[in-house]
Structure 1
Amino acid sequence: MKRPPLAHPFDDDKLKEECGIFGVIGVGDAANFVALGLHALQHRGQEAGGIVSHDPNSGFNSARRFGYVRDNFTKADVMSTLPGPLAIGHVRYSTAGSKGATAIRDVQPFFGEFSMGGAAIAHNGNLTNAAALRRELIERGSIFQSSSDSECIIHLMARSIQKTIPERMKDALRRVEGAFSVVAMTRTKLIGVRDPLGVRPLVLGRLGDQAWALSSETCALDIVGAEFVREIEPGEMVVIEDGKITSTRPFGAPASRFCIFEQVYFSRPDSIIGGRSVYETRRQIGVELAREAPVEADLVCPVPDSGTPAAIGYAHESGIPFGMGIIRNQYMGRTFIEPTESIRNMGVRLKLNVNRALIKGKRVILVDDSVVRGTTSRKIKDMILDAGAAEVHFRIASPPTAWPCFYGVDTPERSKLLAATMSEDEMRDWIGVNSLKFISLDGLYRAAGEAGGRDPKAPKFCDACFSGDYPIVPSDKVEEGFEMKAAE
C-alpha cells in the first residue's frame, strides 16, 4: 500500500499534533460514532487512523488506513466490516516509531488476545522509558509487530498474572513512564485511563441513558451529540460496562501537570479544558501580550488559523484595528502533491496569501502561536513586506520554545529550535522584523486562569518546552545523551 506524504511539506515549522483517541459503548453502530469523533479530532493527527469494534456475533474487527478519516471511514464497504455496540479509534501523527517510513502495522489501535479474551488499546502520548522496556521484553521472548512505543503496553499486559484485563492494564501502566491517555476495550468493557500527572487530555461524555463516550477533546463529543460529563482525572481509570462506570486510581493522586501547549495550539478552540474555553484562553493570551508587549501600529493581523483568537485579544486590549491581512487557502490539505523544486520554492505562498489592499502602507502586528525553527516566520515577513507594509512586528502567543517535548509532541532536536540558540533580539534580527516579543511564562499562566502566574515550586502545567522543567525524566533520551537543564 502506497502511503501519502507524512505531512504537508510546508508545515515543517510547527510543532506537530500528538494523536487523538475516541471510544463509544452502548450504541448500535459504535464504529460510525467513532468515525465521526475521529473526524473532529483530525487536527491531532492526519497521518493515519484506525478503528476496532466488537460484535457479539463476529467478534473483534478492525480497519486501519493511511490518510484522512473522511477518505477512509465514510465508505460503506469499510464501515460495514466494523459492526457492534462497542468501538475505539485513533488518529495518528508519529511521535515515536519509524517516522518517514511508517508501516500499516504502526497504526493504532493495537489488539492482543489474552486467556480471558481479546483487548484493543489506543494511546495518545509518549512513553519515555519505551526503549528500555522494549529491550527487556524482547530479551524475555516478546515479539514486537510495530515500531510504536504503545505496543509495549500490550506486551506488559500479556506478562501480567492478574485475572482481568483492567487489572492487567493497571499492572502494565505502572511499569511505563511518560505521558499517556489510553482508551481500550474488551468484549464488553470500554476503558479510559490517564497518566498520574494527566499530561495528555481525556474526557467522558454521555449518549442517552446507557451509552458513553471517551474522547481526547470535548469537540468530538459535540459532533456525536454526546453530553460532556467531566474530565478523566490524572491517574484515574474508568471501566464502563452495562451502562455503569467504575472508577479507580491505580497510580495515586500526584499534582496534575497538564500540557499547557494544549491551550496554546493543539486543542481545537471550541473544546473545553479544565472548565475553560480554549478559545477564551487563547483570546486572553492576546490580551496579556498586548499588556506585556505594546507597540505603535495600524493593524493587528493573525497568522491563520491558530493565531486568530490571540490576535483578536491583542486588538481588543490595544485598541488597534483587527484585520485578516493573511488569507489561508482552505483547500490546500496536508497531503498535497509531491512538490517539485520549483513548487517547493514557493513555500508558504501555496498555503497563505497576503491581503495586499489591507496591508499596503500599514505598520502591521503579526500574531502567531509559536516560533519553532523560525523559517516560516521569515517567509511570512517577506510576504508582508512585499505587499507594501511599512513595518512588521511579531507577537508570539507562547514563550520561546527552547526545549524538545518527549511526551507526545513531535519537536525538533534542541539544536534546531531557534530559541535554544538565540536570544530574543538575535531572533528578531534573524527573522528580520522591526520587533519580536513573546508572551512571558507568567503571562501564559495568567491567561490560562492562574492569576498569580507560574509558581516555580509547584507549576500547575507541564511547560517543559518553554522552561526545560521536565516533570517526568525522559530516561530513554538521557540514556542517548540528552542533557537536562541544570538545577537552579
Structure 2
Amino acid sequence: MCGIVGMVGQGPVNQEIYDALLLLQHRGQDSTGIATAEPNGVFHQHKARGMVREAFRTRDMRTLLGTIGLGHCRYATKGTASSEEEAQPFYVNAPYGIVLVHNGNLTNTRELTDELFHRDRRHLNTSSDTELLVNVLANELQTSVTGLGSHPSEAPCADGDGVGRGAWGRLDADQVFEAVTRVHERVEGSYAAIALIAGYGLLAFRDPFGIRPLILGTRKDPSGETDRYEWIVSSESLVMENAGFEVVRDLLPGEAVFIDLDGHLHTRQCAVDPKLFPCSFEYVYLARPDSVMNGISVYEARLRMGERLAETIAQHTPEGFIDVVMPIPDSSRPAAMQVARKLGLEYREGFYKNRYVGRTFIMPGQSVRKKSVRQKLNAMSSEFKGKNVLLIDDSIVRGTTSREIIQMARDAGAKSVTFASAAPPVRFPHVYGINMPSRHELVAHGRTIPEIAEELGCDYLVYQEVDDLRDAILEGSDIEDLDMSCFDGRYVTGTVTEEYLEWVEGTQTS
C-alpha cells in the first residue's frame, strides 16, 4: 500500500502535489517523492526517506518546476524500506523519458527480472518492483513507437519535433494504450500506476483486477484565465475534495487514461478480460474514512462492519458481561460506535493517541512496531478501573499491537478484557500490496480462536465472519466480489502458487 497522485494543471503543480501527499501520508511513511515536468520535457525530481513534512524544504519545492507532476508516499512491500534508492518516483531516459509511481505489488518479479535482462536488455539497479514496472512500460512504449522492440537504432529515422520527442515522430494516445495493453499481458499482481512521459503528458493505469484504487478528478482552471480543465488522479477521493476537484469516477480495472499537455483526456480499456476485485483491506484499515473508493464510502462500510460484528459478539460473550465499549483509535472508531449502539452499551474513549507517532502496522520491523505501541497510545485508568471492557480494533495481523494494548488495559485496572476484530482472522499472506508476506508472522495462522485469545492475553476474543465483512463492504454496491485473500486464501489473479508463497516467505524480512 502506497499513496500516489498525479496532476495536469495550468499553473505550477508542485504545491498541490505536496498538499495531496500530506493527505495520503497514512498510506506510507517510509519515504516520499515528487517529480514535475516542464512543457519542453525537462524533469525535476526530489525524493527522500521519511514523512512528507520532513522530506521537502522550501529550496526543494522551488526546484520542482512545471505544470504537470506526480507524487508518492511509500510503504515498503518489495525491496528495502531503509533504502533511499528505492524511494519513488523511478526514472528511465528512453523512450522520451518516463518517471513513474506505483501502488501495489507485482507477483511475477522473478520472471520479469529475467526477461528485462536477457530479452529487453535493460539494467535494474534495485530490488523494487516499481523499477521493474517502469522498465516494462518503457520497453513496450518503445515497441509501440518503433515497432522493433528494444532496438531503436534499427528504426527508420524521422525528424523530431522538440525536446523530449524522439526520432520516430510524435507520440499519440493510441501508441500509449498499445503499450499499456502489452504491460497487462506481461505483468501479474496488483498495480495502480501514474507516469509522466516527457514532452507529452500524464498516463495512469490500473491492473485488470482493480485491486488497488485509482480515482480521476477534474476542475476548471482556477485562475479563470483559460477555459481549460485541470486533471488529477489519486489513490483516494479525499485528495480531490480537499483541492476543489470534482470526482469524475474510479478508473476501471485494466483501464488507462492519458492526459496530454493541453489537458485533453483520452481513455481506453487495455485489458482483455477485466474484473473488479478491490482489496477489502482498504476498507478495513488502509483508506481514510472520508474517502469514497469504487463508489463505496469507507466510513459507511466501517459502520456496517460494526453492525455485523455486534451480532457475532452477542453470540460469543455472556449476556450482561460487558460494561463499556472502547475503540482502538482511529480506524476502528466507526465500527466501535455501531457495536455500542447495537448492543445498547456505553461507548467511551479509553485510549489517548499521540498524533506524532506513525501508524504502527506499516512500520518496518516487529521490534519497531512493538516499541511504538506504547508511545502511540496511553490508557486512561479512569476509564478502565474496575470495568469489563470490550475493545474494538479494525483487525489483528501479527498480534504485536493487540497484545500490548490488552496488557495496557489490564495495567490501567480493567476487570476483564474482551477483544473484538472488525475483520476476520488474517490467516494467509497478502501479496497484492500489504506487508503480510510470511504466514509465521500472522498470529491467526495455524491457531484456533481460543488459542489466539490465549496468545494475546484477553478473556474473550471475537472476530468478524468472512461473509459478514464482504456483505458489509459491498452492501448497496454493484460490485460482485472483493479480494479477501488474507482472510480466505483465495488469490483473485489466479497466478499465486504455493511455490511463490514459499519463495516470498524465504526472501522477505519482518
Q: What TM-score do the two structures reach when normalised by structure 1?
A: 0.87
Match of 2:472 in 1: 447
Distance 1:451 1:277 in 2: 10
Q: How does 1:102-181 map to 2 (within 5 A)?
A: 102=83, 104-115=84-95, 117-140=96-119, 141-160=121-140, 161-163=143-145, 164=171, 166=176, 167-181=178-192
Does 1:467 pair with 2:500? no
Does 1:70 pair with 2:53? yes
Moved more, 164-173 or 135-144: 164-173
Match of 2:218 in 1: 206
Query: Any conservation in 2 of the 1:86–1:188 contact (CA below 8 Å)?
Result: no
TM superposition shift of 1:343: 11
Match of 1:411 in 2: 436
Query: Any conservation in 2 of the 1:406–1:474 contact (CA below 8 Å)?
Result: no
Distance 1:480 1:404 in 2: 8
Does 1:300 pair with 2:321? no
Letter of the 2:94 partner, please give it. Answer: F
TM superposition shift of 1:448: 0.9
Match of 2:150 in 1: none
Q: How does 1:31-430 map to 2 (within 5 A)?
A: 31-56=14-39, 59-73=42-56, 75-99=57-81, 101-102=82-83, 104-115=84-95, 117-140=96-119, 141-160=121-140, 161-163=143-145, 164=171, 166=176, 167-186=178-197, 187-208=199-220, 209-241=228-260, 242-294=262-314, 295=317, 296=320, 297-333=322-358, 348-430=373-455
Letter of the 1:148 partner, please give it. Answer: S
Moved more, 260-269 or 247-256: 247-256
TM superposition shift of 1:253: 4.1
Query: Any conservation in 2 of the 1:445–1:451 contact (CA below 8 Å)?
Result: no
Distance 1:144 1:414 in 2: 29
Match of 1:7 in 2: none
Q: Percent identity?
A: 38
TM superposition shift of 1:112: 1.8
**What is the DSSP-based 3-state SS (H/G/I as helix, E as strand, rest coil) of the residue aligned with 1:448?**
helix
Letter of the 2:307 partner, please give it. Answer: V
TM superposition shift of 1:272: 0.6
Query: Any conservation in 2 of the 1:132–1:476 contact (CA below 8 Å)?
Result: no
What RMSD over aligned residues (CA atoms) do the two structures have, in Å?
Answer: 2.5
When Rg is computed on C-alpha atoms for both structures, the one with the higher figure is 2
Distance 1:347 1:134, change over 3 A: closer
Distance 1:482 1:158 in 2: 28
Distance 2:333 2:403 in 1: 19
Distance 1:416 1:254 in 2: 33
Match of 1:9 in 2: none
Query: Any conservation in 2 of the 1:131–1:476 contact (CA below 8 Å)?
Result: no
Query: Any conservation in 1 of the 2:2–2:75 contact (CA below 8 Å)?
Result: yes
Letter of the 2:117 partner, please give it. Answer: I
Distance 1:236 1:175, change over 3 A: same
Moved more, 141-150 or 120-129: 141-150
TM superposition shift of 1:305: 1.3
Distance 2:33 2:259 in 1: 21
TM superposition shift of 1:325: 0.9
Distance 1:451 1:423 in 2: 33
Letter of the 1:250 partner, please give it. Answer: C
Distance 1:79 1:65 in 2: 13
Which structure is higher in helix share?
2
| Unaligned residue ranges in structure 2 (runs of 5+) | 146-170, 221-227, 361-366, 506-510
Letter of the 2:3 partner, please give it. Answer: G
Distance 1:446 1:376, change over 3 A: same
TM superposition shift of 1:58: 7.1
**What is the DSSP-based 3-state SS (H/G/I as helix, E as strand, rest coil) of the residue aligned with 1:462?**
coil
Query: Any conservation in 2 of the 1:110–1:151 contact (CA below 8 Å)?
Result: yes
**What is the DSSP-based 3-state SS (H/G/I as helix, E as strand, rest coil) of the residue aligned with 1:230?**
strand
TM superposition shift of 1:250: 1.1
Query: Any conservation in 1 of the 2:124–2:131 contact (CA below 8 Å)?
Result: yes
TM superposition shift of 1:329: 1.5
Distance 1:474 1:327, change over 3 A: farther
Distance 1:345 1:228, change over 3 A: closer
TM superposition shift of 1:350: 1.9
Q: What TM-score do the two structures reach when normalised by structure 2?
A: 0.84
Letter of the 1:195 partner, please give it. Answer: D
Higher RCO (C-alpha under 8 Å, 6+ residues apart): 1
Distance 1:26 1:205 in 2: 12
TM superposition shift of 1:218: 0.6
Distance 1:43 1:301, change over 3 A: same
Query: Any conservation in 2 of the 1:369–1:398 contact (CA below 8 Å)?
Result: yes
Distance 1:22 1:201, change over 3 A: same
Deviation string 1:32-63 (CA, Å, 9 cap, x unpaired) is: 11111111111111011111111135711111
Distance 1:23 1:276, change over 3 A: same
TM superposition shift of 1:452: 12
Distance 2:504 2:117 in 1: 28
Letter of the 2:28 partner, please give it. Answer: G
